[in-house]
Amino acid sequence: MTAVSEQTGAWLEEFAKLPKAEPWIQELRERAYARFAELGFPTTHDEEWRFTNVAPIARSSFRSEPTYGKKRSAVPLDAEAHLGRYASFDQNAFVALNTAFLSDVTVRRVPAGTVLEEPIEITYETPEGAAAHPRTLILVGANAQCSIVETYKGDGAYFTNAVTEIVLGENAVVDHYKVQRESLEAFHVATMQVQVGRSANFSSHSIALGGALVRNDANAVLSEGSHATLNGLYIVNGTQHVDNHTVIDHAKPHATSHELYKGILDGTANAVFNGRIIVRKDAQKTDSKQTNKNLVLSDNAVIHTKPELQIHADDVRCTHGATIGQLDAESMFYLQSRGIGRKEARALLTHAFAQDIIDRVKVQSVKDDLERYLSEKLHEHAH
Amino acid sequence: MALLEIKDLHAKVGDREILKGISLTINPGEVHAIMGPNGSGKSTLAQVLAGRELYVVTGGEVIYQGKDLLAMSPEDRAREGIFLAFQYPVEIPGVSNMYFLKAALNTIRKHQGQEELDAIDFLNLVREKMKLMEMDQALLNRPVNTGFSGGEKKRNEIFQMAVLEPKLAILDETDSGLDIDALRAVAGGVNALRSPERSMIVVTHYQRLLNYIVPDFVHVLSQGRIVKSGGKELALELEESGYAGLGIEDDEEVATV
Ligand SMILES: Nc1ncnc2c1ncn2[C@@H]1O[C@H](COP(=O)(O)OP(=O)(O)O)[C@@H](O)[C@H]1O
Ligand SMILES: [Mg+2]
- Tens of pLDDT along chain A (383 residues) come to 445 556 777 788 888 888 888 888 899 999 999 999 999 999 999 999 999 999 999 988 898 876 544 444 466 767 888 999 999 999 999 999 999 998 878 999 999 999 999 999 999 999 999 999 999 999 999 999 999 999 999 999 999 999 999 999 999 999 999 999 999 999 999 999 999 999 999 999 999 999 999 999 999 999 999 999 999 999 999 999 999 999 999 999 999 999 999 999 999 999 999 999 999 999 999 999 999 999 999 999 999 999 999 999 999 999 999 999 999 999 999 999 999 999 999 999 999 999 999 999 999 999 999 999 988 877 665 44
- Point out the least confidently predicted range of B61-70, B87-96, B243-252: B243-252
Q: Classify B187 as helix, strand or coil.
A: helix
Is the shortest distance between the CB of B39 and ligand 1 below 6 Å?
A: yes
A358 and A301, same domain (yes or no): no
Q: Which ligand sits closest to the CA of B18?
A: 1
B contacts of A351 (beta carbons < 8 Å): 94-95
Residues 6+ apart with CB under 8 A from A117: none
Last residue within a domain, chosen from A326, A349, A375: A326
Mutate to test the pocket of ligand 1, among B44, B86, B221 (most ligand atoms within 8 A of CB): B44
CB A233 within 8 A of CB A377: no
CB A62 within 8 A of CB A54: no
DSSP code, position B216: S
Provide the domain limits for residue B64: 4-246
pLDDT in the model for residue B158: 95
Residue B54 located in a structural domain: yes
User: Of A286, A308, A326, which one is at a domain's C-terminal end?
Assistant: A326
Q: How many domains does chain B fold into?
A: 1
Contacts of A337 in chain B (CB under 8 A): 50-51, 74-75, 77-78, 83-84, 86
Select the residue from A233, A331, A338, A344 to test the B interface by mutation, using most B Cβ atoms within 10 A.
A338
**Does the CB of A379 have a partner CB in chain B at under 8 Å?**
no
Domain residues for the domain of A155 are 3-326
Strands A213-222 and A187-196: parallel
Least Cα separation, residue B159 to chain A (angstroms): 13
Query: CB-based contacts of A206: which residues, under 8 Å, 6+ apart?
Result: A178, A180, A192, A216, A218, A230, A231, A232, A233, A234, A244, A261
Q: Is residue B47 part of a domain?
A: yes
Beta-carbon separation of A344 and B107 below 8 A: yes
Q: Measure CB to CB from residue A338 to each of B78, B93, B111 and give the nearest one.
A: B78
* Angle (nearest 5°) at CA B69 between B68 and B74: 145
Binary contact (A337, B50; C-beta < 8 A): yes
Residues of B in contact with A340 (CB under 8 A): 75, 100, 103-104, 107
CA distance A260 to chain B (A): 16
Q: Residue B251: pLDDT band by 50, 70, 90 thresholds?
A: low
> For residue A205, which of A233, A239, A169 has the smallest C-alpha distance?
A233
- Report which of A148, A339, A79 is spatially closest to residue B104, judged by C-alpha positions: A339
Query: B103 and A340: CB-CB below 8 Å?
Result: yes
* Count of beta carbons in the 10 Å neighbourhood of residue B249: 11
CA distance B223 to B38: 10
**Residue B41 Cβ contacting ligand 1 at under 6 Å:** yes
Burial environment of residue B247 by CB neighbours within 10 A (0 to 12, 13 to 18, 19 or more): exposed
**H-helix segments, chain A:** 2-17, 23-39, 55-59, 93-100, 329-336, 342-359, 364-382
Residue A258: name the closest of A290, A223, A284, A233 by CA.
Answer: A290
3 state DSSP class of A150: strand
Between chains, do A338 and B94 touch, taking CB under 8 Å as contact? no
Residue nearest to atom 24 of ligand 1 (CA): B39
Classify residue B37: in a domain, yes or no.
yes
Are A72 and A104 in a shared domain?
Answer: yes
C-alpha closest to that of A295 among A272, A323, A333: A323
Write down the pTM of the prediction. 0.90
> Which ligand 1 atom sits closest to the C-alpha of B41?
17
Q: To the nearest whole angstrom, how far is the Cα of A271 from the nearest Cα of chain B?
A: 23
Residue B100 lies in a domain: yes
Cβ–Cβ gap A337/B107 under 8 Å: no
pLDDT of residue B134: 83
Residue B86 has pLDDT above 90, yes or no: yes
Closest ligand to C-alpha of residue B35 is 1
Q: Residue B185: in which H helix or E strand, if any?
A: helix B180-192
Examine residue B256 and state whether it is found in any structural domain, yes or no. Answer: no
pLDDT of residue B176: 87
Judgement on whether residues A167 and A178 belong to the same structural domain of the protein: yes
- Report the mean per-residue pLDDT for chain B: 93
> Probe ligand 1: pick from B9, B16, B19, B226, max atoms within 8 Å of CB?
B16
Tell me which chain B residues have a C-beta less than 8 angstroms from the C-beta of A336: 51, 73-75, 78
Contact B94 A355 (CB under 8 A): yes
DSSP A320-362: EEEEEE---HHHHHHHHTTT--HHHHHHHHHHHHHHHHHHT--
Yes or no: say if A95 and A86 are a contact pair by the CB < 8 Å rule. Answer: no
- Any ligand 1 atom below 6 A from CB of B40: yes
In a domain, B253, yes or no: no
> Do A226 and A261 belong to one domain?
yes
For residue A104, how far is its CA from the centre of ligand 1 (angstroms)? 67
Total of domains in chain A: 2
Q: How far is A336 from chain B (nearest CA, A)?
A: 5
Count of C-beta atoms within a 10 Å radius of residue B241: 10
| C-alpha to C-alpha distances, B219 to B34, B42, B203, B233, nearest whole angstrom | 5, 11, 10, 11
User: How many CB pairs lie under 8 A apart between chains A and B?
Assistant: 82
Of the candidates B75, B90, B95, which has its C-beta nearest A341's C-beta? Answer: B75
Does A355 lie in the same domain as A308? no
- CB contacts of B55 in chain A (<8 Å) are none
From ligand 2's centre to the CA of B171, what distance in Å? 10
Decide: B201 in ligand 1 pocket, CB within 6 A. no
Same domain, A75 and A140: yes
pLDDT of residue A18: 85
One domain, residues A271 and A337 = no
End-to-end CA distance of chain A: 49
Residues 6+ apart with CB under 8 A from A50: A44
Residues contacting residue A51 through CB under 8 Å, at least 6 positions apart: A44, A243, A270, A272, A304
Are A297 and A255 part of one and the same domain?
yes
For residue B45, give the ligand 1 atom closest to its CA: 17
Q: What is the CATH number of the domain that holds B102?
A: 3.40.50.300
- For A47, how many CA atoms within 13 A lie in the half-sphere containing its CB? 5
Q: Of A304, A326, A348, which marks where a domain is finished?
A: A326
Q: What percent of chain B has pLDDT over 70?
A: 97
Condensed to tens digits (0 to 9), the pLDDT of residues B182-215 reads 899 899 999 999 999 999 999 998 888 999 999 9
Q: Residue B172 domain-assigned?
A: yes
Taking the C-alpha atoms of residue A374 and residue A372, their distance in angstroms, rounded to an integer, is 5
Predicted pLDDT at B250: 66
pLDDT score recorded for residue A6? 60
Query: What gap in Å lies between CA A18 and CA A103, rounded to an integer?
Result: 9
Residue B140 lies in a domain: yes
Please state, in angstroms and rounded to a whole number, the distance separating the CA atoms of residues A189 and A133. Answer: 9
Q: Compute CA distances B63 → A25, A122, B170, B218, whole Å.
A: 80, 62, 16, 21
| A202 shares its domain with A346 | no
From the CB of residue A138, how many other CB atoms can be counted at a distance below 10 Å?
A: 23
Inter-chain contact A341–B104, Cβ cutoff 8 Å?
Answer: no
